[in-house]
Structure 1
């Protein structure tokens, strides 16, 4: 690789990256996302659907709720979880969250110990405070009256990815440079001096999600044995709990 033109090796690495990402069902890779949470009340909304909106000051009428066989009068922000008798201030983030980079309230970052992540998606306040009820989306998250969560999504590359990536990038680079490579060509059979050599069907290989390279195919079959085209996703028709800033 060191003897090849850097432009060729750059294209080879880019092609190998995209090919492996696609062959493994678009599973691996990290993305840092800035979220602007919009708080959702603990009640189901039927009370106000029947009797009108809440008070303009941001607080609602007490809402009766049946929890564990007992009736409780809940006001906004006082909803307790199934495992706790006390109020838990939490916000639901798109799952799964790999890690939290930063949480800002009124433009000021919170210390790491002020929150935690449960179930890879529940951002729980642990310093005794409450997550803000309002989030002024017309302002940047550096201003008062706003809050934001910067989170990393995706899945880290496993150790075998480096070997598969190296083999595929090297063979692509050699092919681009006009040298012999191990990538299968369109040739299926070669007869020379009475010897017949058969080659795998390139179209069939690609349809099965294989390349003909041992390390690459071993990596792909390990992490995408069912040959998925993309990651599985679940969509909710309910209103969103967060907004991705700027997208």
Structure 2
């Protein structure tokens, strides 16, 4: 499991992950019982990498352990629906209620959105879910926190997140970590698309006939002309020539995106990655 040490009050990528974290599940569409399991294993990995790329590097969940630092400053770098957090803390915020404008203020608030103390940390977004929080070697009960806006980890048991995180130690006193999952779950049709594509990869590797388009565009035998799709054009369009596979790709990546959109700030520090 990769471990990254971000200063999580800053917007950041999730450690520069490239490629799927594990092979996708397969529902086989052919009989490969006679093939070497090593060949089918490689075929599954190839099919996973291919579908991951052709669907815009979107699907699959990756588990990452983060070493967060608590942010109590609210310096306005993260904007929510009603502006930077320091606005509500120090100045009244205008609100339209029943057709009339009111200035809402809590007075001396300790949080940007609440007059009660809210202990929270900001994680690299978007987080799918939290699998574990460990403080000083002890696992915190899941009922003691919640995840808001796919990025804000809020303490709900009345406790406080530690003020510091000793990044020089892996665990124990002065150290704490959050294990989170990033990405999107696989759609139901992924297993069928995987089965069709992995079948053809395995057959090709074993020297059998397969339905993957070859480089030949036209074949003439005994007066019969057979035309094949232009494999180069298919690949440029992000297609494979396989029905189930192409239906899956067209459903989930109709625009042929290479990867999901991201927003970067060159002025902010990047994620810390031990050993990188």
TM interval, short-chain normalised: 0.7 to 0.9
Decide which of 158, 180, 197 is 2:226's aligned counterpart. 197
Secondary structure in 2 matching 1:101: strand
Residue number in structure 2 paired with 1:33: 64
Alignment CA distance shift 1:176-1:205 (3 Å): same
The 1-side partners of 2:153 and 2:275 are apart by 21
Question: Unaligned 5+ residue runs, structure 2?
Answer: 1-31, 77-88, 94-102
Residue 148 of structure 1 aligns to a residue whose secondary structure is strand
**Runs of 4+ displaced beyond 4 Å:** 69-74, 237-247
Match of 1:98 among 90, 104, 128: 128
Gap regions ≥5 residues in structure 1: 46-63
- 1: distance between equivalents of 2:155 and 2:269? 20
Whole-Å separation in 1 of the counterparts to 2:267 and 2:140: 29
SS of 2:257's equivalent? coil
Counterpart selection for 1:65 from 90, 97, 108: 90
Equivalent position to 1:175, from 204, 216, 228: 204
Report if the CA contact (8 A) 2:108-2:115 is conserved. no
Query: 5 Å matches for 1:97-246?
Result: 97-140=127-170, 142-237=171-266, 239=268
Give the Cα separation in 1 of the matches to 2:234 and 2:244.
15
Cα deviation digits, residues 13-61 of structure 1 (max 9, x gap): 121111111111111112111111112233439xxxxxxxxxxxxxxxx
TM-score (structure 2 length as normaliser): 0.74
Greater gyration radius:
1
Change (3 A) 1:196 1:186: same
1:244 deviates by: 5.7
Given that 2:128 and 2:183 are in contact with CA atoms closer than 8 Å, whether structure 1 keeps it comes out as yes
Deviation digits for residues 121-167 of structure 1, max 9, x if unmatched? 11011001111111111122x21122211111111111101101001
- 2:33 maps to which residue? 2
What residue number does 2:82 align with?
none
Aligned length: 223
Say which is worse superposed, 193-202 or 221-230, in terms of deviation: 193-202
Q: 1:79 aligns with which of 94, 111, 114?
A: 111
Q: How many Å separate the matches in 1 of 2:181 and 2:248?
A: 24
Paired with 2:107 and 2:271, the residues of 1 have a C-alpha distance of 28
Residue aligned with 1:166, SS: helix
1:150-203 deviations in Å (ceiling 9; x for gaps): 111111111101101001111111111111111111110122333322110000
8 Å Cα contact 2:134/2:178 also seen in 1: yes
Between 34-43 and 159-168, the greater mean CA deviation after superposition: 34-43
Q: Distance in 1 between matches of 2:58 and 2:74?
A: 36
Change (3 A) 1:87 1:236: farther
User: Given the two structures, how large is their TM-score scaled by the length of structure 1?
Assistant: 0.82
